[in-house]
Amino acid sequence: MESVTIKDIARICGVGVSTVSRAMNDHPDINQETKDKIMRVIREHNYIPNNSAQNLKRADAKTIAVLVKGISNPLFARMIKVLEREIQKQHYSLVLQHVDDRQNEVDVAIQLEKEKRLRGIVFLGGYFSHSEEKLKQISVPFVLSTIGLLEDANKEKYASVSVDDVRESSRMVEYLIAKGHRDIAILAAREDDTSIGLLRLQGYYQTLKKHGIKPNPALVVYMKEELGPYTMENGYAMAKELLASGEKFTALFAISDRMAVGACKAILEAGKTVPQDYSVAGFDGLDLAQFYNPTITTIRQPMEEMAEAAIRTLFDMIEQEGKKKHVVFAGELIEGQSVRQI
């Protein structure tokens, strides 16, 4: 089969080749109706721009990498959709790369940079506590998103988009205290966590302290290393252990919605109910929190807005050598049925 050329498309549409080119490149200087017609004809004839040299050059030269740690996190799926849309709008191409729990994301980035001639990188998730020495090896602009930055991080080296995890965690603990709870258990990250998990735990400690509540170490449960981080399965195992300890508590704050749902299962299996016997709160604002029975009280993170800000910040850095901004979004407490006043 003879393949269709740009000249064929121009002839069929009754326009010049440069008009077809403008339509394909989303050039502003073209009538919308003409453009729609050209794009329709292109689709009907399965025309693929075959100007390989230019094409390859462009694809190589204008690539953004999105490195994701935790691909099964439903939050990231929502962000990736937005990133894809925005990257496409700017006529860049996107390389999506999953980073394994055991892999070092900076090594992955450096390797990818060599292979693809990247123009910029968005990091999603993970434990980001790399030395400046190491970060210097990344030569393109990059933005960290939904990654905890410790207070002592040198912020001139990063751009970032996130919620303030300490503050949002405090918001939830304040709420539980306002509902009359003082014996509040937390399902935290791994004990050696240096990322958002640590920040959320700090928010918990700070808020208890502020209200003169002495933290009870027996009510701080750490994630199981052998189970997937932040999963229902992990929350279930953690809550089961907590319940078996016999330690008294009236509310349980899980630092992810999925862990909160897992905890509810452990509570039900112990013959208890939510929120009559135990109040349960989550974090993230997933659909899951809204559809579980009872609905889970949670902190909603504005993922779509955060993704938009991340990519905007990155393009500013690439195209206008913009500064390394730190954009912080506020979360929102969504009241469900899983917390009761005592």
SS3 262: helix
Please, is 19 exposed, middle or buried when counting C-beta atoms within 10 Å of its C-beta (0-12, 13-18, 19+)?
Answer: buried
Query: 223: helix, coil or strand?
Result: coil
Give me the helices (H) in the chain, please.
6-13, 17-24, 32-44, 52-61, 74-89, 105-116, 132-135, 165-178, 196-210, 232-245, 257-269, 287-291, 303-319
What is the smallest separation between the CB atom of 78 and its own copies, expressed in angstroms? 7
Nearer to its own copies, 166 or 259 (CB): 259
Nearer to its own copies, 66 or 199 (CB): 66
Amino acid making up residue 103: Q
Residue 340 C-beta: closest distance to its own copies, Å: 17
Q: With beta carbons less than 8 A apart as the criterion, state whether 278 and 319 touch.
A: no
Closest distance to its own copies from the beta carbon of 275 (Å): 13
Nearer to its own copies (CB atom), residue 102 or residue 214: 102
> Which residues make up the interface to its own copies (CB under 8 A)?
1, 43, 46, 48, 50, 52, 55-56, 59, 71-72, 74, 77-78, 80-81, 84, 93, 95-98, 100, 104, 107, 110-111, 114-115, 133-134, 136-137, 231-233, 236, 261-262, 264-265, 268, 287-288, 291-293
Q: How far is the CB of 48 from its own copies (least distance, A)?
A: 6
SS3 98: strand
Which residue's CB is nearer to its own copies, number 55 or number 245? 55
Helix (H, G, I), strand (E, B) or coil at 319: helix
Burial of 248 per CB tally in 10 Å (0-12, 13-18, 19+): exposed
Of the pair 97, 202, the CB lying nearest its own copies is at 97
Distance CA 159, CA 279 (A): 37
Nearest CB to its own copies, comparing residues 93 and 194 = 93
- Smallest distance from its own copies to CB 150, Å: 21
- Minimum distance of its own copies from residue 71's CB (angstroms): 5
Q: Which residue has the tokens 């899983």?
A: 338
What is the Cα Rg of the chain in Å?
A: 25
Q: For its own copies, give the closer residue by CB, 144 or 261.
A: 261
**CB 2 to its own copies: min, Å:** 12
Whether residue 285 contacts residue 332, with contact meaning beta carbons closer than 8 Å, is answered with yes
